A = this chain, B = another copy of it.
Amino acid sequence: MSRNSSSGYDRLITVFSPEGRLYQIEYAFKAVKAAGITTVGVRGADSVCIVTQKKVAQGHSQDKLLDPSSVTHMYRVTETIGCVQTGHQADARAQIQRVRQEAAQFRYKYGYDMPPEVLAKRVADMNQVYTQHAGMRPYGVTMMLCGMDDEKGPQLFMCDPAGHYLGYKAVAAGQKDLEAKNMLEKKLKNSPTLSYDETIQMAITVLQSVLSADFKCSDIEVGVVNKDNKGRFRQLDEAEIERHLVAISERD
């Protein structure tokens, strides 16, 4: 689209362009990609795995003196739900805070944990509001949620700045999302049943390929929800990641 045809419609979130578009939302999607991080999520038979790059977003110097423990895009929301935020990290932190509150209030009110889909819907609802009212901009961040539903088993959702949420068997977000999605599609064409280890290694492999990188265990963050572990969300430690990286390189 040429710049001219958008002039004026893209500075006020509350109006449609003559083609029925909401430009600010489209720009927010650009902000997600501009951060330069890629994230991959894969759903296995009894587990879900989300993998992202452990580095600060583009625009910040990739400082070697950074304390690695302070760089994270992966958050635990409840005991059983985890998420990766891809995009503008300051927005991400603001969002995760509200999401945790919502989850805690749900638990308090109803006595059981918020199911992953209900949470994904809630996130999307909050995002939609920012696209319809004047005076605020949408969040420049995409949230990938994983969790275990008591009835439906492992679940993987993605909530975007426009206020949509959708469930996926496997999905990718951020700078190289298209490449990663294509690769996932090919690999999962026959809907194979992925074991716990296969799920994790599938996610890592795809991320490694689209980035043409050779990961060290400190380069990535890996979050999993596993049925065997009572559906708890946990992040793998470096030793576990190392184990999977070795397995991948040996397999190749």
Residues on A lying within 8 angstroms of B by beta carbon are 3, 6, 8-24, 27-34, 43, 56, 60-61, 63-67, 69-71, 88-91, 93-94, 97, 117, 121, 124-125, 127-129, 131-140, 152, 155-157, 162-171, 178, 181, 184-185, 188
Contacts and interface: CB of A to CB of B under 8 A. Distances in A.
Nearest to A12: B11
A21 B181 CA distance: 25
Contacts of A129: 94
Given A15-B13, A20-B140, A166 B93 contact: no
7 contacts: A6-B18, A14-B137, A16-B27, A16-B31, A65-B168, A65-B181, A70-B166
A211 B171 CA distance: 28
A87 to B, nearest CB: 9
Stoichiometry, copies per complex? 7
Interface centre among A88, A121, A167 (most CB of B within 10 A): A88
Contact of A66 (B17, B124, B168): B168
Contact of A171 (B65, B124, B162, B188): B65
A38 to B, nearest CB: 15
Contacts of A185: 63-65
Interface centre among A22, A136, A137, A167 (most CB of B within 10 A): A137
Given A63-B168, A136-B134, A156-B67, A124 B20 contact: no
